[in-house]
Structure 1
Amino acid sequence: MGCVPQRFSPYHPGSKAALFPVAVVCAVIVYGLMSIALLNDSTMEVRKTAIQYKEKKSIHAPGPWVPQKKWVKFPDRMWHGYQLPVLTAQPLGRMGNIMGEYATLWALKHIYNTTVLVMPRMRFKLSCFPSLSLPDCPGGCNTTGWKRVGRSGGISRYDFTKIENAAAGLFGPETFVLTNCLFEIQLFNFFKEDLRREFTFSEEIQRKVREFLARVQREWQAINNSTVLPVLVGFHVRRTDYAQHAFRLFGGKLPGTTYFTRALNYYRRKFSNAVAFVVASDDMGFVRMKLGNNSDVYFSAGTSAFEDMALLSSCNHSIVTLGSYGFWTGYLAGGEVVYPDVRTHRRYRFAREMYEITGIANFTPIFPD
């Protein structure tokens, strides 16, 4: 419902008075619609734009916001040999968040053909991935005086329009630091296979993972007196500070043992019990207590976050709870990913709505409790 433009007759005395109530009604309706759009976190525009990349031509994927005809290029404006604008990102959060920041930089570079650089701290935090191809920021990347650009609309709206405007050159030939934990799945999901190659673990970590998983399979075969190799399902359980974080920021709660049982049984039925679960968590005492009586569950040694992610992402399929770390374990594994269909008071990046909007088809929701 709204105001339809009308063709008015020539002015006559009294016509202003007659039209005044109509104008008031239209103003009220428009104001109300704008207020709803601003306040309702459940609204999100699904952006579809053709992206050309390598052999994939004119594939429609979510994003980018700025169509190519509006991009602005500055071929003669340089910074340390790099064409402006230049974008880098603050490595905020833990491993999963920083991977999302790197992946978003990758997407901005390959969609907008813009310069992106990696800060030394981001390189250090992702040192387990020796194949990262984005170049380092020269000279240690002192970003004093750089323009800071982040998302808009609060923590639950995930509006990265300003970041994409900067990448498209609409904010001028400047140097930009991207802030607010950029994690733009709707852009970087288009480059999933490229990112899985970027996030390739070192050979030493891969060797440890292969040995661990081979041992799990041998133990499972011995217990089940079988020559069949079990399907491996990685299971990440996020705990510790995330319970308070999820409640405070999103109004949600961590899934409990009911979800664990449902997720385990989902794969047991699917693979006729020929399945072995490999569990890692930031609270191994909790998961051992809750899952230790399952003969098909095996626990990570918990040596490091790097090795746990390598272990889980090397499995055939995945179970995750909440958080960016669990997301990446399933995303990199590449098989089916079971996740909790949580209900939150604000939009949550790793909830069903967001997975559907971003076009991630291999994630399967299960009601948690």
Structure 2
Amino acid sequence: MQLDRATRTRLADATLSVVVGALVATSAAFDDGTTPVDYGLIAAGSLALAAYRRAPRAVLAVVTVAMTAYVLHAHPGSLAALPVLAAVHTAARVGNRGVAAVAGAVFLAGFAVTGPATQEVVERTTLLVGWFLCALVTGLADRNWQAYLRQTEQRALEAERTREEAALRRAGEERLRIARELHDSLTHSISIVKLQAGVAAHLARKRGEEVPPALLAIQEASGEAMRELRSTLEVLRTDEPTGTPALLVERARAAGLAVDLTVTGDERPLTATVDRAAYRIVQEALTNAARHAGSAKVTVQLDYARDDLTVRVDDDGSADPARPPKPGIGLTGMRERVTALGGTLYAAPRTDGGFSVRAELPLGEAT
């Protein structure tokens, strides 16, 4: 079983405090006159280190009081300063430099008055002063290093966001260029075909002749091509959703498609990219159902989980698993959108008939 990051951090802090307490207690075991009270003070001062991330100032106070009381009572060696050194370092690491310096000075004063001012006591006290200065300096250096890492990460995220914005802007400009080209060329040509086919059919009827089926097919196909082209131009001119999946379902119903919408989970605002992807997936799936599924019934399901959104569109049309459709531009674009978000897409005929589209979109920070 894998532990989450917070649990691993708490276990590491608890292990550190136990190791520090074991070292100080082992050293105390070799000193004459160590009492259970001393071991209790060692345990209190060492085990308090396990909470240094949540309350560094409180931990520093508990450790300083406990270990100072221990050195005043038992007159131990220099290793008794280890818990205080750790607490001073962590306090300086989060910016409590003054409090850390005062705590270190209190402990050093208690350590210095534990016995006559012999040369050994002076040397040990001086050595501890150096240790405490190192603890303060390393704590401040660690704090500055963490701040530098955060700034570097922020700059990297800002640069990535700038590149994404530039890419989106270039893509938008390219879409507009393609839309203009299609409008200026194809729209004109198809309009001429449709117009001439309509004029020819009108003249045939006026002369009392039967309109050739091929001419009627040309007229109908050109009209359908114009509608499809206008729809494509609208998509090219704006990549932003113009509504919600619920609105798409209402439009599909108004067009005669039998559609049911189901929303489960905790519905909430989504990031722009996830919202856009969900909208386009439902839109493309409903469009395909209207084109290929005939009078089939369609179900749209939106499932909001904690970490992802599942979009599912099923129909009970005539799609056959033995003859899977060749992916077109719509399915390819749908897959590209899902892949760009790190999600997964399943789009294939169902075993009991019909077609199914299922997309799992990881959720980012809501906007």
Q: TM-score, normalization: structure 2?
A: 0.23
Q: TM-score, normalization: structure 1?
A: 0.23
Looking at both structures, which has the greater relative contact order when contacts are Cα pairs under 8 Å and sequence separation is at least 6?
1
Task: Say which structure is richer in helix.
Answer: 2
Task: Say which structure is richer in strand.
Answer: 1
Which structure has the bigger radius of gyration? Answer: 2
